[in-house]
Structure 1
């Protein structure tokens, strides 16, 4: 079978059903890729040397990419033509890949295509740096467990609940499954390994005093974290939805932020009516020439370093008195809206959160409703925050009972 080989075509070649098969490259005569029943892919060069037909093994894919295979085959063909080629009887074994070698391949070829939060997957795998220098096929179950326990220890030092360690286990399981599919390893050392720690549901939301402290800490930061932190609180949206915000998603005249499905956790288009306080903040933000990112220091990528920002806030305003996370700002906005009299299904619409308050056909239909109600809810919350931070302010909340007063997850 002859085809114009491309990286995508090679990646999607299915394992042989029975006998192995070969795909010949249309662009370079003699270059072929052999695919086995296990899905392993090996490069060969079919040519003639001293009048005899020969088939030379070049190496395995993906260790040897399509580009590498073509270059190696061309070098061999050149040496044959010049009479310089000397076939080596003992071809050195290819270098074994380490986990550090495999992670970038896994992220680029799999995670980016199949995982919405691929950046989170990449981040947690990079944190498992004690394993990076080990050969991917030599890592043992005990090695992974030790690294996960180290992550748990680090998290506990910071008041966490083991979330990162569990995400690390999930990520390395996916990585090894991909490696098996690609023929890089035969078995996974983490198959069947259960999470080492049970996660505790987080129900924290900031008090009025803590809200004021948080905003005070933001104001000490300046651009970009001052505006980023304030908008995170005022809109109640997820961290990356605000951090990665684009100017093209904003309509300041209409006062809206439109998040396309690929930018939301539940893959649903979400229009956020912005309170006037948020619009005023956005109008003060400088724009980088040629950049669409609202929050950036490089013009080519959105801001990062949220952990360091959090530590600065804790040091400046003492928010380390009790464990808190940036996600608690979302819960703070939602819970306060409930206390201020906003109905649960409107809060759900503001959060773009599928909690089960609205379900079935109504859930699909209601995605397109409640725009005015969402605007009113977020404005009520924005006004409350403004009164809360005004000099000698004495904010008064509306009374609420029953379901309206529950804390939102």
Structure 2
């Protein structure tokens, strides 16, 4: 009875000539091959479409890792996928530019549409121009480091590209095309995350513009400001999610970032806007695009025109959500309540607004000082 583990592999003696495969008695088709020159590699024996094959899993790896690869390969075979054929198809496309799109399509089902499109854009416009003529076997860690250094002025893009390459190299390792992740250990740039908070003058300018505009896009801006919702949650919302009589919005898990159902009460102003929107709506969606026969995907063009006409700069649609949260904090609500309303599943995410709460507490504390000074 043979149980292949690290101890067993380390004690293997080479044959006098050729090679010999030791088969594990517990994992059917899993073996360790050793040559006369003491070279060891893990293998997988399988039968598919009547043909017997021995597939090389890889060498210089822990037995536990090799067994995990074996389990994935076994599952492929059970699903009618020939690992050897898949490997050969990939090897026939040795350039990074070909492989990286195979990788992207392979992980597409695990990505949101927006994330997939972002990955594709970064690959096409940032990664490929640098690696267009590079073969996979020619890539080095120094090359990845040099590539990352090109983005010292565009830290966010540089970090996202490094992340994509790291994921791509892990995919290549999983396909037995590489033995190392060249992006591993390369330090990402420290990003200065933007923390813009709208002031009253800016909000008044936005509201005054919305009052003069009666387009469907203006309703969307109103509701983002009045609910603190994420843009994607609102634009794909359906009327069936709302109870305007009881005053609540029940966001389905498919639409929320945290992938959980999110129930929020609606304030009177939000209900007023929704009722006005309901009067002119003839679709299951709040924001329907008759050209595409589905919900509106974005309101960026409208938002940019709004900023231009109000002479405002450096304000994102997402800043409306931050303003909603800051108003609650400044009015005395605690971080837990604010987090629940804006859909944070982790209270740590809401702590970005803690400084506003601290300012409010400082003002409250100062009232005691002022009161006591009155005795002097």
Q: What TM-score results when the alignment is normalised by the length of structure 2?
A: 0.61
After superposition, give the CA deviation of every residue in 1:207-254 in whole Å (9 maximum; x if it has no partner): 111112334556788655322222221111223222332334333333
Equivalent position of 2:45 in the other structure? 21
* Secondary structure in structure 2 of the residue aligned to 1:402: helix
* Cα distance change on mapping 1:270 and 1:58 into 2, 3 Å: closer
Greater Cα shift, 292-301 or 249-258: 292-301
> Deviation of residue 15 (structure 1)?
10
Q: Which has the higher contact order (CA 8 A, sep 6+)?
A: 1
1:155-304 map, 5 Å: 162-195=155-188, 197-216=189-208, 223-283=215-275, 284=277, 292=285, 294=287, 296=289, 298-300=292-294, 302-304=296-298
After superposition, give the CA deviation of every residue in 1:196-215 in whole Å (9 maximum; x if it has no partner): x3122433210111112334
Instruction: In structure 1, list runs of 5 or more residues that go unmatched.
Output: 1-13, 42-56, 66-92, 156-161, 359-399
> Deviation of residue 151 (structure 1)?
5.6
Equivalent position of 1:123 in the other structure? 118
Structure 2 CA distance for aligned equivalents of residues 318 and 32 of structure 1: 72
Query: Among 312, 315, 326, which residue is 2:308 paired with?
Result: 315
Q: What TM-score results when the alignment is normalised by the length of structure 1?
A: 0.57
Structure 2 CA distance for aligned equivalents of residues 166 and 357 of structure 1: 21
Structure 2 CA distance for aligned equivalents of residues 349 and 58 of structure 1: 47
Greater Cα shift, 311-320 or 270-279: 311-320
Structure 2 CA distance for aligned equivalents of residues 331 and 185 of structure 1: 44
* Cα distance change on mapping 1:151 and 1:300 into 2, 3 Å: farther
> Deviation of residue 336 (structure 1)?
1.0
* Cα distance change on mapping 1:403 and 1:267 into 2, 3 Å: farther
State the Cα RMSD in Å.
4.3
Query: Do residues 95 (structure 1) and 61 (structure 2) align?
Result: no
Structure 2 CA distance for aligned equivalents of residues 225 and 100 of structure 1: 41
Instruction: In structure 2, list runs of 5 or more residues that go unmatched.
Output: 1-27, 33-42, 59-68, 74-81, 351-358, 365-376
Query: Do residues 402 (structure 1) and 361 (structure 2) align?
Result: yes
> Deviation of residue 118 (structure 1)?
6.2
Q: Which has the higher helix share?
A: 2
